[in-house]
Every structure is written in structure tokens, then in C-alpha cells.
Amino acid sequence: MLSKEAPIGVFDSGIGGLTVVREIMRQIPNEKIVYFGDTARVPYGSKSKETVTRFSRQIVHFLESHNVKTIVVACNTASAYALNELEKEIDIPIIGVVKPGAKAAFQTTKNGKIGVIATEATINSKIYSQYIKELSPDMTVIGKACPLFVPLVEEGLLQDPVTDEIARRYLTELIDLDIDTLILGCTHYPLIRSTVAKIMGEKVTLVNPAYETARELKEMLTAKGLLQMEAPGLGSNQYQFYVSDTTDKFIRFANSIIKYGILSAKQVNIEEY
Ligand code: DGL
């Protein structure tokens, strides 16, 4: 029997999933969170389906060892490649970021032309297109892999002429194809949202799957009677962060994304799970 008091498990290939954590903290502030960032094995976006699934399975086992009540796959690549498999293997609810993002884009578009920017793996999987076309086969979905965005964000070049130039090169073809909605299909991309918005212009609405995922998570927990209504007591260790590589860079980065004040993270050997 799952308990309301149990934490929510959230994972990503590294730091990008913190944009999802940030939304969960905002939308359902009473929840406890156990976050795992696979900083030793990032990036997932250039790896095979088999590898991403194996890594994701280990992380799910790790989160289950913390008795989480649900798992959020806060990584588009892992949602695209591993979620279907993982769903079959575990007893607790598990949600990814792709379906909520696809649904929001479908609800947003007026001209039926939706762009998706993401890692190579997510684009090659065609998962966004698949979900959107399930909602309506008339939609046109145009994917564009933007592999340099993740290292640019990880280097902290969020507002930088180099990022502007690279974004312009990636995005020009989407502008030419007259999309009116663009999915930020990688958890790092909300951090360069203003750059993308500037280049795409006012006529294009950006969809952030992190926001939509937190909304869907809240709905799901409410429907299952698992939403935590009371704030956890002082000293309850509400937010716990784990990574597979050293913690210093992660803590610095986490504090630049989340204003909560992350003082510590623990390194774990994820290969043991
Ligand atoms: N977090 C990943 C995603 O959302 C991007 C980083 C990576 O390639 O691992 O797809």
C-alpha cells in the first residue's frame, strides 16, 4: 500500500531534470522528493536505446530502495527510450515528460504545425510525433536535434552570443516551416528559453514539458489519493539529491536553478543497483 507521506522519485541523466523538480516544488510544495542525476554517465541523448534503458532501470531500482510512491522520468531521452519498458517492470506509477509535453503542444497549436527541439535520441525516436498524431493525425510535427544546447547549458552559457548564434542556426529552418508551437523537448532547454523565444519570435508559443509534467503529476497523485496535503515537519529532509559523479558542480548548478538552497548531495555507485 503506497503512502501519501512517501517521497516522489525523480531522475535525469544529470542536471536537466532539476527544471522538472523546480516545477514540482512550485506546484505541489508539500511533497518530498528524492532526485537522482546520472552525472557520471551523461549525456543520454547520444546513446543507444539499450544503454539508456539499462541506465534508467538501475536508477529506478535505486529510487525504489528509497520507497518512493511514484517515479517521474525527468529526461526526455529516457522517457522516449525506456519508459514503456519500465512501466511493465514496476508496481508504482511512473510518468515521463514526453506525453504531457505532446498534449500541451496539441492544445496550443492553431495552425497544426508543431516543432520539437531535443536530443538526437529523442528526435530519432519520433516519440513526440507519435503521441501528437495519436491525438490528431492531421498534425504536422517537425523535429530538430540540437546537440550543442546541452553542453552550452552545462557550461553556464545561458545568455551568451555563442548560444545565440548556435540557436539561430538550429532554429532558422523551423521558422521557415511556419510552425506556431515549439516544444522544448529536452530538460536543459527551459534554461535557454529566452534565447529560443527571441529567435523564434512572438508568433511561436514555447511549450515547456517540465511545467506540464508537474501538472499531470499533481492530477495523478490527487486521483490516486496520494497527494501530500500537509507540509512535512522541520528536519524531515524534504529534498534529497543523489548523483553518480562528484557533487560539487552539481550543487553549484542546482543552486542556480532552484532557489531552495541545496546544501548537500550524495554520490552513489549506481552500477550496484
Ligand atoms: N536530460 C536529457 C533530455 O531531456 C538531455 C541531456 C542528455 O543528453 O543526457 O533529453
pTM: predicted TM-score of the whole model, two decimal places? 0.95
Q: Which of 11, 21, 150, when mutated, tests ligand 1's pocket best, judged by the most ligand atoms within 8 Å of its CB? A: 150
Q: Please give the helix or strand (H or E) that residue 69 lies within, else none.
A: none
Residue closest via CA to ligand 1's atom 8 equals 45
* Contact present, 195 and 167 (Cβ < 8 Å): yes
Domains delineated in the chain = 8-96+211-272 (3.40.50.1860), 98-209 (3.40.50.1860)
CA distance 191 to 93: 28
Residue 224's CB: how many other CB atoms inside 10 A? 13
Mean pLDDT of 13-35: 95
Q: Is 146 a catalytic residue?
A: no
* Contact present, 75 and 15 (Cβ < 8 Å): no
Please give the pLDDT value at position 154: 86
CA distance 217 to 73: 11
Ligand 1 atom nearest the C-alpha of 12 is: 1
Please report where in the chains the cell 553556464 appears, as a residue. 156
pLDDT value at 60 more than 80: yes
C-alpha cell at 256: 542556480
Please give the pLDDT value at position 103: 97
Please give the pLDDT value at position 6: 96
Q: How confident is the model at residue 235 (pLDDT cuts 50, 70, 90)?
A: confident
Please give the pLDDT value at position 169: 97
Rg for the chain, CA atoms, rounded: 18
Please give the pLDDT value at position 46: 92
What is the distance in A from the centroid of ligand 1 to the CA of 272?
22
- pLDDT tens per residue across span 165-183: 999 999 999 999 999 999 9
Looking at the chain, the whole-number percentage of residues with pLDDT higher than 70 is 100
Active-site residue identified among 52, 186, 191, 262: 186
pLDDT value at 160 more than 80: yes
Please give the pLDDT value at position 61: 98
What is the distance in A from the centroid of ligand 1 to the CA of 147?
10
Q: Is 75 a catalytic residue?
A: yes
